[in-house]
Amino acid sequence: MNLKIAVYSKSACPQCESAKMLLKSKSLPFEEIKIDDEAERLAFYEKCGPSVRQMPQIFINDQRVGGLQGLQAALAQLAL
């Protein structure tokens, strides 16, 4: 199964680190996009939707699955 995974993260973010560790533990390649500038991050949240206010935001095959819990749920659904 070929998944395109993007992890939008910020520095010093424990949830971001946990999400990346989970993907690494499953040997799933991913692209990390760091958004450390607050103005850029707020603009990114606006694009994601009105309820999005935290990092990480994870996309699998261009579909937003959400943060760490969303990633865990998506991987469980994909049986990974």
> Please, what's the b/e burial string for 32-68 (b: 16 or more CB within 10 A of its CB; e: otherwise)?
eeebeeeeebeebbeeeeeeeeebbbbbbeeebbbbb
At 18-39, the pLDDT tens digits run: 999 999 999 999 999 999 999 9
Q: Output the pTM of the full model.
A: 0.94
Tokens representing 20 are 């990346």
CATH number at residue 27: 3.40.30.10
Average pLDDT of the segment spanning 49-70: 94
Q: Are 29 and 54 in contact (CB under 8 A)?
A: no
38: Cα within 13 Å, side-chain hemisphere = 0
What is the percent of the chain with per-residue pLDDT over 70, rounded to a whole number? Answer: 99
Which domain range does residue 32 map to?
Answer: 5-77
How many domains does one find in the chain? 1
